[in-house]
């Protein structure tokens, strides 16, 4: 029997703040080959109060077959290994981590393996980030999805900086990654611009059951990835030094697999 395969694509580091719910790169336009399935994964960065957060990505793996099943296996993908500054992954910017075809079927988990060259920059000083659990076995994220041949799958990995960095008693820092994963066809996206753009603003979408945030980039652009379908209140928090007032936009509707464009929001 001929095995069927899907293309597994991982995109990393952005504040999805990074994974787009659409094609990951220019060569995606052809879609998945017949009998294959394609997965795209991006990692993005939720807001954090640091000058730089540098993450050493070594490998991305995917678990095929159910856990403890005789057919369970971990497959190492052709990973774009490197050190990425999460804080550069704002305004819809994301980083491709891996792009590869694997056998179609049940995918249980993604495993993100980090190296030991993780650092943060605070007040102009660089500090190492200890990553004990990630270095030993990798950070596992649940997929629990049947991947069908001929289909394309896009996932966003949203790295929450504030929750992931723990201050030690000796003044050092530990990285305990907190990452939210969302599927492109099961969530939407909110984009827009905030002016004036010379000050960084924090944009948050909130409803009764969910909240997600992202900072604007140097051009004032922002992107909130992996937003569940629903109606949201959008708040824009101005940088305190700007002297500008915060802004609230009510009744913003998000649909699965769709992008809601708020266009330009003006702070006064």
pLDDT of residue 190: 94
In the chain, what is the straight-line distance between the N-terminal and C-terminal CA atoms, in Å? 65
pLDDT of residue 262: 97
Report the C-alpha gap between 64 and 101 in whole angstroms: 13
pLDDT of residue 17: 31
pLDDT of residue 10: 46
pTM of the model: 0.72
pLDDT of residue 133: 64
Contacts 24+ apart (CB under 8 A), 22-29: 22/154, 22/184, 24/96, 24/99, 24/154, 25/96, 25/99, 28/152
Write down the CATH number for the domain with range 188-266: 2.60.40.1120
Handedness of CA 220, 157, 227, 39 (dihedral sign): positive
pLDDT of residue 131: 82
Residue 10: cis peptide before it, omega within 30 degrees of 0: no
| Count of CB atoms situated within 10 Å of the CB of 88 | 18
Please state the domain extents for the chain: 5-186, 188-266
Nearest to 78 by CA among 56, 94, 101, 95: 101
171 φ/ψ angles, rounded to the nearest 5 degrees: 95, -5
| Integer angstrom CA distances of residue 101 from 1, 38, 41, 152, 243 | 18, 7, 13, 11, 51
Residue 110: beta bridge partners? 62, 141
Give me the tens of pLDDT residue by residue for the chain, a chain 268 residues long. Answer: 334 444 444 444 433 333 332 323 334 444 444 556 666 666 665 556 688 999 999 988 888 876 666 667 888 888 889 999 988 887 777 788 877 777 788 888 888 898 889 999 988 999 999 887 655 578 888 888 888 887 777 777 888 877 888 888 888 899 888 888 877 667 888 999 999 999 989 899 999 998 888 888 889 999 888 899 999 999 999 999 999 999 999 999 999 889 999 999 999 9
162 φ/ψ angles, rounded to the nearest 5 degrees: -60, -40
| Integer angstrom CA distances of residue 217 from 12, 161, 224 | 18, 16, 13
pLDDT of residue 250: 98
Mapping DSSP to helix (H, G, I), strand (E, B) and coil, where does residue 113 land? Answer: strand
Contact 228, 253 (CB under 8 A): no
pLDDT of residue 159: 81
Residue with tokens 């305004």: 91
């Amino acid at each position: 029997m001929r095995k069927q395969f899907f293309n597994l694509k991982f995109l990393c580091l952005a504040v999805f703040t990074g994974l787009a719910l659409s094609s990951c790169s220019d060569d995606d336009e052809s879609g998945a080959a017949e009998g294959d399935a394609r997965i795209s994964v991006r990692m993005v960065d939720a807001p954090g109060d640091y000058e730089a957060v540098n993450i050493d990505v070594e490998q991305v793996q995917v678990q095929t077959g159910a856990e403890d099943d005789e057919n369970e296996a971990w497959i190492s993908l052709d990973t774009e290994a490197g050190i990425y500054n999460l804080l550069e992954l704002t305004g819809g910017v994301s980083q491709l981590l891996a792009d590869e075809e694997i056998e179609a079927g049940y995918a249980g988990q993604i495993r993100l393996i980090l190296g030991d060259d993780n650092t943060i920059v605070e007040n102009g000083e660089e500090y190492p980030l200890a990553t004990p659990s990630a270095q030993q076995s990798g950070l596992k994220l649940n997929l629990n999805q049947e991947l069908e041949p001929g289909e394309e799958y896009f996932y966003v990995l949203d790295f929450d900086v504030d929750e992931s960095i723990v201050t030690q008693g000796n003044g050092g820092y530990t990285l305990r990654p907190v990452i939210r994963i969302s599927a492109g066809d099961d969530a939407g996206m909110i984009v827009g611009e905030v002016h004036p753009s010379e000050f960084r603003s924090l944009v948050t979408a909130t409803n009764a059951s969910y909240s997600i945030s992202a900072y604007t980039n140097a051009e004032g652009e922002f992107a909130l990835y992996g937003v569940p379908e629903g109606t949201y209140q959008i708040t824009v928090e101005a940088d305190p030094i700007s002297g500008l007032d915060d802004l609230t936009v009510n009744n913003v509707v998000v649909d699965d697999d769709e992008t809601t464009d708020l266009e330009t929001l003006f702070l006064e």
